[in-house]
């Protein structure tokens, strides 16, 4: 035990004396969570739009007023003729233009029908789509208020409710993802680098010739990173609760246990990577390409898995991060207990055991 | 007086597939002896040594190190040997004292013993001014000497040195060999691989490996007579050319 403590002390010296690893450990998680939380967002807020109002009557004025009153849009300018539309899009100043037809209010009264054209800049298709939907919603609401006193014979009124994230805040989606990435990065990359560093420097050989057992060496190398990853997880959760008002509906204890499980699986992957790489550079490249990219692209963090082609959907199943994201979204946003996420937990546990077994085996082969 | 055998090797073999990296070597090493283990690169020196220090499993044969069998008691062997690799592996980002403390710690030395050892060692190496400097900042020669002292920190019966003088200047090499003599004089057996033939002259006995086999084993004097050579370099060349 005393040997083990000495070993861990040495490991902390390594970490705290290396600015680069300190930055990866503590600077990056905070930078990432703030970056994802503030800068990268797919919410619609104050989108600049332009208005082409050929009627300028009471109804169009009211609609325009309603649109500019919503927090989603801000009216950047009014244009006078249709030929201006293209120019204004090309300048890229606005994302959408609302084009009211001539005699809008007159048509509405006379024909019970008036047209408004929503032109969106679809270079960013998701945003364009959302803008169109939001404008539609505002128009529907207005239309409904016009018909309030009227009895319509048949009417289907869709009433949608967004549960678990009623304000559709994208930070709710990013926090679990960022947490997953950071835990993966810190645990897998840092351990694989620190183990290969010992190999590169030749100290691994000295350790193996010493009375320390290989398993003690590995546990000693990995232990500090378990500890630091847990601190990181706490920092991320605290930041998201206090800065982004991210709710944690479920049990914090369960969240902690699941996080530790994921950390251990990532550490096992890190050990596995260190057994196949001879240099720190290789370990870093394998960690980045082999772990980070799949985590970002295939875990459902940014791109929904259900809209991927089937082969990619199948591949996503072997990515531990996918299951962890489902688990922590469940706990944080839906407040579910283990009874709803036991299947995912079991999968993650199975993967962890598999990675540990594989890395122990690989490690032994290398020694023989 | 019968001399105590601390390493006994008989028919030790290591195969990688069809290739025998070490092909049935046999030799004994006596207590307090400086045993030179020579051979060209790729002759099998390092593989043989790895089997003796318990980090590589032999394919067949027998070997006892410090009285323990390499097949069944590798863990006991590890407690009784010291090892210094050709990289003088110490932790560059730890200070001299921290390195000594760490390696003393993994060999299970008590805190008081480590303190005692560190003070003695730092004084002996003349490192008083550098005890709190990072090892990475030390010149190579100092690192090498420190690395050797650290390998001896738990007073092992045998110390294995894998090409311990690579890349250091002749004066430092000379000083280093004085440290080796001193250790041997105090009863530590020194098992050293090298490809500097002038260093072979310093050994009590040398073995020369060619293609996985030990082709010659005797004192440098006897070997020079046997091969009618002026120095060990000529002995080595004659053997290596077959």
At residue A41, the pLDDT reads 64
Cβ atoms of B51 and B12 closer than 8 Å: yes
Domain residue extents for chain B: 32-45+81-240
B202 contacts chain A (CB < 8 A)? no
For residue B155, give how far its alpha carbon lies from the nearest alpha carbon of chain A (Å).
13
**Residue numbers in B near A206 (CB within 8 A):** 83, 85, 89, 103
Q: Match domain B32-45+81-240 to its CATH number in 1.20.120.80, 3.30.930.10, 3.30.70.360, 3.40.50.300.
A: 3.40.50.300
At residue B225, the pLDDT reads 93
CATH architecture, range A47-146:
3-Layer(aba) Sandwich (3.40)
**Residue numbers in A near B98 (CB within 8 A):** 10, 13
B91 contacts chain A (CB < 8 A)? yes
Distance (Å, rounded) from C-alpha A356 to C-alpha A230? 19
B71 contacts chain A (CB < 8 A)? no
Binning chain B into helix, strand and coil, the percentages to the nearest 5 are: 40, 30, 35
**Residue numbers in B near A211 (CB within 8 A):** 75, 78-79, 106-108
pLDDT by residue, tens only, chain B of 242 residues: 468 999 999 999 999 989 999 999 999 999 999 999 998 888 889 899 999 998 888 999 999 999 999 999 988 999 999 999 888 889 999 999 999 999 999 999 999 999 999 999 999 999 999 999 999 999 988 999 999 999 999 999 999 999 998 888 889 999 999 999 999 999 999 999 988 888 899 999 999 999 999 999 999 999 999 999 889 989 988 887 76
Distance (Å, rounded) from C-alpha B161 to C-alpha B149? 12
**Residue numbers in A near B91 (CB within 8 A):** 10, 13-14, 201, 203
Token reading at B38 = 């020579």
Residue A157, strand partner residues: none
Cβ atoms of B47 and B22 closer than 8 Å: yes
A368 contacts chain B (CB < 8 A)? yes
Q: Looking at the predicted complex, does its ipTM rise above 0.85?
A: yes
Token look-up 């196949």 returns: A276
A17 contacts chain B (CB < 8 A)? yes
Domain residue extents for chain A: 2-40+169-367, 47-146
Q: Do A10 and B94 touch (CB under 8 A)?
A: yes
Distance (Å, rounded) from C-alpha B173 to C-alpha B170? 5
At residue B31, the pLDDT reads 94
Number of other CB atoms surrounding residue A84 within 10 Å: 14
Cβ atoms of A100 and A55 closer than 8 Å: yes
Cβ atoms of B164 and B192 closer than 8 Å: yes
Q: What angle do CA A144, A150, A156 make, to 5 degrees?
A: 55
Distance of CA B118 to the CA centre of its chain: 22
**pLDDT tens digits, one per residue of A256-308:** 999 999 999 999 999 999 988 889 999 999 998 888 888 888 888 878 888 88
Q: Is B234 helix (H, G, I), strand (E, B) or coil?
A: helix
Sequence-ordered alpha helix ranges (H) in chain B: 45-52, 74-80, 96-106, 111-125, 140-151, 170-185, 197-200, 220-226, 232-240
For residue A266, give how far its alpha carbon lies from the nearest alpha carbon of chain B (Å).
26
**Residue numbers in B near A201 (CB within 8 A):** 87, 89, 91-92
Residue A79, strand partner residues: A52
Distance (Å, rounded) from C-alpha A76 to C-alpha A97? 10
Distance (Å, rounded) from C-alpha A49 to C-alpha B98? 65
Q: Do B79 and A6 touch (CB under 8 A)?
A: no
How many Å from the N-terminal Cα to the C-terminal Cα in chain B? 37
Q: Do B78 and A209 touch (CB under 8 A)?
A: yes
Distance (Å, rounded) from C-alpha A181 to C-alpha A301? 9
pLDDT by residue, tens only, chain A of 368 residues: 778 888 999 999 999 998 888 888 888 888 888 887 777 666 677 889 999 998 888 889 999 999 988 888 999 889 888 888 888 888 888 889 999 988 888 888 888 888 999 999 888 887 888 888 888 888 888 888 887 777 667 777 777 787 887 777 777 888 888 889 888 888 898 899 999 999 898 898 899 899 988 888 888 999 999 999 999 899 989 988 888 888 889 999 999 999 999 999 999 999 999 988 889 999 999 998 888 888 888 888 878 888 889 999 999 999 999 999 999 999 999 999 999 999 999 999 999 999 999 988 887 665 54
**Residue numbers in B near A208 (CB within 8 A):** 55
Give the residue on B whose Cα is nearest the Cα of A10: B102
At residue B2, the pLDDT reads 60
For residue A286, give how far its alpha carbon lies from the nearest alpha carbon of chain B (Å).
25
Token look-up 């000495």 returns: A6
**Residue numbers in B near A213 (CB within 8 A):** 75
DSSP string, A64-76: HHHHHHSTTEEEE
Cβ atoms of B154 and B80 closer than 8 Å: no
At residue A72, the pLDDT reads 87
Please identify among residues 152-181 of chain B the ones whose CB lies closer than 8 Å to any CB of chain A: 160
A219 contacts chain B (CB < 8 A)? no
Cβ atoms of B44 and B21 closer than 8 Å: yes
Q: Do A202 and B89 touch (CB under 8 A)?
A: yes
**Residue numbers in A near B83 (CB within 8 A):** 205-206, 209
A167 contacts chain B (CB < 8 A)? no
B182 contacts chain A (CB < 8 A)? no
Q: Is B191 helix (H, G, I), strand (E, B) or coil?
A: strand
Nearest to B107 among A9, A210, A213 (CB): A210
């Amino acid at each position: 035990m005393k040997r083990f403590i000495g070993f861990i002390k040495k490991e902390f010296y390594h970490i705290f004396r290396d600015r680069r690893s300190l930055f990866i450990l503590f600077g990056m998680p905070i930078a990432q969570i703030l970056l994802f939380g503030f800068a990268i967002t797919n919410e619609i807020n104050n989108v600049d739009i332009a208005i082409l109002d050929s009627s300028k009557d009471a109804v169009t004025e009211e609609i325009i007023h309603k649109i500019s009153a919503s927090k989603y849009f801000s009216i950047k300018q009014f244009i006078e003729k249709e030929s201006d539309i293209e120019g204004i899009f090309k300048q890229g100043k606005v994302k959408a233009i609302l084009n009211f037809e001539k005699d809008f209010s007159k048509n509405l009264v006379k024909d019970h029908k008036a047209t408004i054209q929503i032109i969106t800049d679809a270079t960013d298709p998701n945003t364009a789509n959302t803008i169109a939907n939001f404008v539609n919603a505002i128009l529907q609401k207005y239309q409904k208020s016009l018909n309030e006193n009227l009895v319509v014979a048949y009417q289907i009124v869709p009433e949608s409710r967004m549960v678990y994230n009623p304000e559709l805040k994208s930070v709710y989606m990013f926090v679990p993802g960022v947490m997953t990435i950071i835990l993966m990065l810190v645990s897998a990359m840092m351990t694989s680098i620190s183990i290969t560093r010992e190999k590169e420097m030749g100290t691994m050989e000295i350790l193996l010739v010493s009375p320390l057992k290989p398993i003690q060496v590995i546990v000693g190398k990995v232990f500090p990173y378990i500890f630091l990853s847990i601190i990181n997880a706490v920092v991320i959760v605290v930041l998201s609760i206090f800065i982004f008002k991210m709710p944690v509906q479920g049990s914090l204890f369960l969240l902690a246990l699941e996080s530790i499980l994921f950390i251990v699986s990532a550490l096992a992957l890190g050990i596995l990577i260190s057994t196949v790489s001879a240099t720190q550079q290789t370990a870093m490249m394998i960690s980045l390409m082999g772990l980070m990219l799949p985590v970002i692209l295939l875990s459902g963090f940014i791109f929904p898995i259900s809209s991927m082609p089937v082969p990619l959907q199948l591949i996503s199943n072997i990515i531990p991060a996918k299951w962890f994201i489902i688990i922590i979204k469940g706990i944080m946003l839906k407040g579910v207990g283990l009874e709803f996420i036991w299947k995912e937990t079991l999968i993650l546990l199975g993967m962890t055991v598999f990675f540990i077994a594989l890395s122990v085996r690989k490690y032994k082969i290398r020694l023989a | 007086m019968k001399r105590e055998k601390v390493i006994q090797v008989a028919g030790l073999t290591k195969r990688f597939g069809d290739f025998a990296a070490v092909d049935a070597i046999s030799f004994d090493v006596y207590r307090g002896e400086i045993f030179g283990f020579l051979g060209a690169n790729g002759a099998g020196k390092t593989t043989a040594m790895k089997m003796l220090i318990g980090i590589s499993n032999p394919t067949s044969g027998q070997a006892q190190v410090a009285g323990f069998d390499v097949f069944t008691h590798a863990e006991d062997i590890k407690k009784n040997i010291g090892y210094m690799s050709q990289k003088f592996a110490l932790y560059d980002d730890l200070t001299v004292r921290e390195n000594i403390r760490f390696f003393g710690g993994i060999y299970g030395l008590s805190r008081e013993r480590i303190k005692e050892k560190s003070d003695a060692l730092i004084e002996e190496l003349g490192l008083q001014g550098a005890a709190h400097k990072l090892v990475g900042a030390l010149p190579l020669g100092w690192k090498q000497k420190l690395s050797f002292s650290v390998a001896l920190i738990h007073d092992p019966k045998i110390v294995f040195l894998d090409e311990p003088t690579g890349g250091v200047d002749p004066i430092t090499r000379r000083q280093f060999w004085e440290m080796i003599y001193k250790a041997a004089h105090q009863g530590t057996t020194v098992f050293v691989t090298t490809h500097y033939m002038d260093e072979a002259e310093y050994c009590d006995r040398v073995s020369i490996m060619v293609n996985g086999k030990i082709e010659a084993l005797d004192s440098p004097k006897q070997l020079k007579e046997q091969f009618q050579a002026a120095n060990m370099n000529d002995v080595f060349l004659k053997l290596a050319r077959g």
